[in-house]
């Protein structure tokens, strides 16, 4: 199935936008950011693929490069297939005012709502078009994004010492 899927997607969204990612034993496609929304809609609604279940979204930090990746793990309950999508994000610097931006897919799969909030909270990735983007696991006034490899603990939080050993 995967060969046909790739061919179909490449003819529809442009060959340069869809690439096979070879760093995994599972079927994984690297997707260009510009086609993400359209492609997700297509994968979910097309009768041939019907990826109706978004299992997981993971944000990965490639420190020291100024590069992040988002990985979407999809599954189809109808066809019992799995597919992973990768989106590579690069930023000029790691300033807290310069977060990488990705269109939110929470309108396509509601699962993405909380997963994107988590990625925003811990990895500092900004999802445009998300209806409720705020921190989810950490307090709303937390500073920084702890899952980034270059994160450094603050000395204290509201007077409570939190610096690690």
Partner 1 sequence: MLEKYNQGYQQYIDRIASVGSTEMVINMGPQHPSTHGVLRLELITDGEIVKEVIPHLGYLHRCFDKHAESMNYGKSIPFTDRLDYLSSMNNSHSFVMGVERMLGIEDKLPKRVEYIRVLVCELNRIASHLIAIGTYGIDIGAFTPFLWCFRDREHIMNMLEWASGSRMLYNYIWVGGLFYDLPVNFEDRCKDFVKYFRPKLDELDEILTNNEIFIQRTANIGVLPADVAINYGCSGPMLRASGIKWDLRRIDGYSVYPELDFEIPVGKGLMGTLGDCWDRYKVRVDEVRESLKIIDQCLDRLMSDFARLPDFDPRALVPKKVNLKAQSYYVRAENPKGELGFYFETQDKTDVPRRVKARGPSFNNLSVLPELGKGVLIADLIAILGSIDIVLGEVDR
Q: Which is nearer to partner 1, 16 or 80 (CB)?
A: 80
- Round to whole Å and give the CA distance between 153 and 58: 22
Q: Residue 67, interface with partner 1 (CB under 8 A)? A: no
- Determine if 91 is a binding residue for partner 1 (CB under 8 A): no
Q: Site mask, partner 1, residues 1-40, x = CB under 8 A?
A: ----------------------xxxx-x------------
Residue 41 binds to partner 1 (criterion: CB under 8 A): no
Q: HEC string of 119-135? A: HHHHHCCEEECCCCCCC
Among 8, 42, 146, 157, contact with partner 1 (rule: CB under 8 A): 146
Distance from the first to the final alpha carbon of the chain: 51
Which one of the spans 1-9, 12-20, 33-41, 138-146 is the region binding partner 1 (CB under 8 A)?
Answer: 138-146
**In terms of CB distance, is 66 or 73 closer to partner 1?**
73
Query: DSSP secondary-structure letter at 42?
Result: H
C-alpha 123 chain-centroid distance: 10
Residue 101 pairs with which residues in a beta bridge?
126
Q: How far is the CB of 82 from partner 1 (least distance, A)?
A: 8
CA 116 to chain centre: 7
């Amino acid at each position: 199935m995967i060969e046909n899927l790739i061919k179909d997607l490449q003819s529809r969204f442009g060959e340069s936008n869809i690439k096979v990612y070879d760093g995994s034993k599972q079927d994984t496609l690297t997707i260009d950011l510009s086609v993400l929304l359209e492609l997700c809609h297509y994968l979910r609604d097309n009768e041939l693929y019907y990826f109706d279940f978004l299992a997981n979204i993971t944000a990965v930090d490639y420190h020291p490069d100024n590069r992040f990746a988002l990985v979407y793990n999809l599954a189809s309950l109808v066809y019992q297939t799995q597919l992973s999508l990768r989106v590579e994000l690069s930023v000029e610097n790691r300033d807290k005012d310069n977060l990488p931006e990705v269109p939110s897919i929470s309108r396509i799969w509601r699962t993405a709502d909380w997963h994107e909030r988590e990625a925003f909270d811990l990895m500092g990735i900004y999802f445009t078009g998300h209806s409720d983007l705020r921190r989810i696991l950490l307090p709303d006034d937390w500073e920084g994004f702890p899952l980034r490899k270059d994160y450094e603990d603050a000395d204290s939080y509201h007077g409570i010492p939190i610096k690690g050993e």
